[in-house]
Chains A and B, each alone.
Chain A
Amino acid sequence: MVSPLVRLIALAGLLALAGCTLTPPTTTAPRDDMPVGIQDSSPAHSLLASARNARSRGDTGAAGRYLERALSMAGAGEATVLYRELAELRLAEGKPRDAEGLALRALREAPANAEWRAGLWDILATARQRQGNTDGSEAARAEAEKLRGSQMGAR
């Protein structure tokens, strides 16, 4: 049994903190709009730009090498961007199987951002489609739609 004095002190303390700590600390509200991207100050940033340049002039080989270099110096949260680029590159190179693996890898590294994840599921759907895996493709497409739906609902 807790003494009345302690209860009073606890109640006063809780009232003082009311509004911000009423929920137990471990249950944070799920977010689905965490930022995704590579900061300007990151060393991976300039390499990503070089990769996009190389890709725009059709040099997918060089683009891949820039992305792999960037991966070696990517910070937390940046790898998903680079894996996504690599997956898109492999799709463009006509290698859907590799694209699928890399898109899954990007998903694993992805933050809680529904739109970003939905985009990755779209790539997966395309990669599976091009491998003739229609069921897998549809499942991926459905996953993307579900994520977009949940995002709409959240708004």
Chain B
Amino acid sequence: MSKNARRPLISRRLLWQLALILLVLVMLGVAWLDARVRQRFDSHQWQLPARVYARPVELYSGRVLAERHITQLLALLRYREQAGAPTPGSFSRQGNSYLIHTRAFHDSDGGEPARQIRLQLAGNQISSLSGADGARLPVARLEPMQIGSIHPGHSQDRILVRLADTPPMLHDMLLAVEDRQFYQHHGLSLRGLARAMVANLRAGGLTQGGSTLTQQLVKNFWLTRDRTLSRKLLEMPMAVLLELHYEKPQIIETYLNEVYLGQDGSRAIHGMGLGAQFYFGRPLNELEPHHFALLVGMLKGPSLYDPRRRPERAQARRDVVLNVAHEQGLLSDDALAAALARPLEVVPRGGGALYAFPAFIDLVRRQLARDYPPAVLSGEGLNIHSTLDVLAQLAAEDALARVLAQRDPQGDNQLNGAVVVTAPDQGDVLAIVADRQPRSAGFNRALDAVRPIGSLAKPAVVLTALERPKQYSLATLVADEPITVPLAHGDTWAPQNFDKESRGAIPMAEALAQSRNQAMASLGMEVGLEPLILTLKRLGVQGRIPAYPSIILGSHALTPFEVAVMYQPLATGGFRTPLRSITDVLDIAGQPLARYPVSADPVIEQGPAFLTQWAMIQVMRAGTGQRVLGQLPADLVVAGKTGTSDGYRDAWFAGFSGNHLAVVWIGRDDNQPAGVAGSSAALPVWGNLMAALPQRSLREDAPPGVEWVWMDADGQRRSAEGCQGARRYPMLVASIPEAASACGEDISRGGVRGWFRRLFD
């Protein structure tokens, strides 16, 4: 034998060396896997979108509430009708009496417990509110409705549920079906693996995984969904490592929140918490065994067993799970029979509140994008409390739809509209409607339809004049006569009145109430375009306003939302309060991150603001707004202004009470003549809407510096009650003339005696 032949092909030493290298490589690999497993698991980087909530609905005795609105509200919140309202999220009804079992919630005020409340409606308002024991309740709240989720950076969505809050039935069913040895094995189940191998051999390929829950979690968390051998080889050591480091409860809790349960457009539905909402429209803890069985059954193939697209297959799968649960002793015979008899009870996709208010969510998105970088919004599970008042929103949608259904029932005239509702006190945007079909997300007319505001500009003209009390008061006569204003390039501006007539000299208050174009044009030209532009800017109009005379009559174009901004100071007696759609941003643990508190910035002096508001009250009492009066309570004091643009293209109404401001626009998207006028098209929407909200009257008592004065018809001299043509106006002290008419002089000099003398002369 040669020397070489005696030697083995590979020396033992080399073998040892190779083995050592291999061992080191394996150890390095395991260490790397270990680090990967721990890092991901420890950091718990759930991809949680920012969730947007409406404000909780406040119920209190005396609140206006139409029966159809409480019905809509309970449906949106997915309350189910059940005798005796036994569990949270249920209600029962007898005539106008509702027993509602509210859901508990936690918010920045501390929240509310789940409890039964009894609510009585009478004449479109809550006539009484009490607890289950009959004791009067001052205020009760329904939980904030989730109206949107914002996930710019990814497309996963989930609602985290702690193991302690997971219904035991769901937990037990999951183990019975997916991994009965879960609490015994260490990540791998040889029995399960053997069973799967037999099945695979029979099928001639990889059809069954035989994976434990731990392996499934590893697969979902770190690996692709392909069934390849290499994935399997990685999955097994990772599962064992996971079990080495973490307790069983942590693993199963993570599993429950990680599982993939379906797709909602681009949004991936993860976890049982969101699955419950997505398929049943209710929180997990309100579900029953047949619901759990469907969720557990779907794990085998969320698309294959999609209960919306393949209800029969899904139901068969659900029934298999129910039978397994019964075999394992989780369900009695009766419970099994009862569960099998139930339908799937899956809610229609998109029927809930999550997609109900796209126009409002659009506003929230824009405000968030202004204040937060995308990274914060993308995955940190922020809770965003918005100002949306669901009842105001429903009322606004309803009001617009009704009027458009009358004027353009088939949509042949392509009439559409937008509504913005705010609470001027707080600057809260309560509702946004941007389409006659409010659930469809498209062109946001409320935020983006830029249209000439027409006569909505006139209060700004009046205000500009009233801020010069030595020159003007509401009694000042203005010329409602043909006016021709020369423009550049030899053109002229010669506005016409709505009725094509001229009334001559009329008081400023009447010019506004009757929306006289020529009178306003001459007043506007007198006060000057630049001061008018400054007033518009103080009221909150942004951007450049060109100094054309036609801006006096509203040739400047704004969106309905911008009109709401502009009318805010008019509604509040001179205060600018930034409009907000968000009140609070909380982190995932419920800790406040940002707060948008109420503020009030005085931009108009109290006196002129009061006078302008009073003049706008006269619009409603005796002017172009008076046809709405029958729709509202007789003693409610409201103010507003109609607006119609050239060629009846745009119908506007902007008006307010003491606690609500609403702007309505109606027109066509292509800006063609729509045959609509503010008083006939937009005003009825406003009236319908305001009638459905709890209202507070505007105040009519004069603030300091303002006095009530009888003025002569000439607008320049004081007069007295009973004198011919005398009218009473609120006036700034600086406006009150020294001179009085003969009749007025007589009475004021004689006082009570003069009054008597006149009677007997």
Contact surface of A with B, Cβ cutoff 8 Å: 2, 7, 10, 22-24, 26, 43, 45-47, 50, 61-62, 64-66, 68-69, 71-76, 79, 83, 86, 90, 98, 101-102, 104-105, 107-109, 111-112
Contacts and interface: CB of A to CB of B under 8 A. Distances in A.
Given A26-B728, A72-B58, A66 B759 contact: no
A79 B139 CA distance: 17
Given A24-B755, A46-B139, A108-B703, A98 B597 contact: yes
In the complex, the 4 A-B pairs of residues with the closest C-beta atoms, listed nearest first? A43-B60, A101-B600, A46-B138, A105-B600
B523 to A, nearest CB: 26
B491 interface: no
Interface string B43-77: 00000000000000010111100000000000000
A132 B601 CA distance: 18
Given A2-B761, A71-B425, A74-B659, 8 more contacts: A7-B760, A43-B60, A61-B592, A101-B575, A101-B600, A101-B602, A105-B600, A108-B703
B600 A47 contact: no
Contact of A112 (B62, B601, B701, B752): B701
Contacts of B659: 72, 74
B134 to A, nearest CB: 17
Nearest to B601: A101
Contacts of B696: 74-76, 79
A15 to B, nearest CB: 12
A86 to B, nearest CB: 7
Contacts of B139: 43, 46-47, 73
B699 interface: yes
Contacts of A68: 426, 583, 598
Interface residues of B, number: 45
Contacts of A108: 572-575, 606, 703
Interface string B724-761: 00001000000000000000000000001001000111
B575 A105 contact: yes
A90 B595 CA distance: 13
Nearest to A67: B598
A84 B584 CA distance: 22
B110 interface: yes
Interface string B547-579: 000000000000000000000000011110000
A71 B572 contact: no
Nearest to A1: B761
Contact of B752 (A22, A43, A74, A111): A22
B755 A101 contact: no
Given A46-B139, A73-B58, A101-B575, A62 B601 contact: no
B62 A24 contact: no
B721 A65 contact: no
A107 B575 CA distance: 12
Contacts of B721: 24, 26
A65 B60 CA distance: 17
A101 B728 contact: no
A73 B254 CA distance: 43
Nearest to A112: B701
A64 B592 CA distance: 14
B658 interface: yes
Contacts of A50: 109
A76 B599 CA distance: 20
B493 interface: no
Contacts of B110: 62
Contacts of B699: 76, 109
Contacts of B425: 71-72, 79
B672 interface: no
Q: Which of A43, A45, A65 has the most B CB atoms < 10 Å from its CB?
A: A43
21 contacts: A7-B760, A10-B759, A10-B760, A24-B755, A43-B60, A43-B61, A46-B138, A68-B426, A72-B425, A73-B60, A79-B425, A98-B600, A101-B600, A101-B602, A102-B598, A104-B575, A105-B572, A105-B573, A109-B699, A111-B701, A112-B701
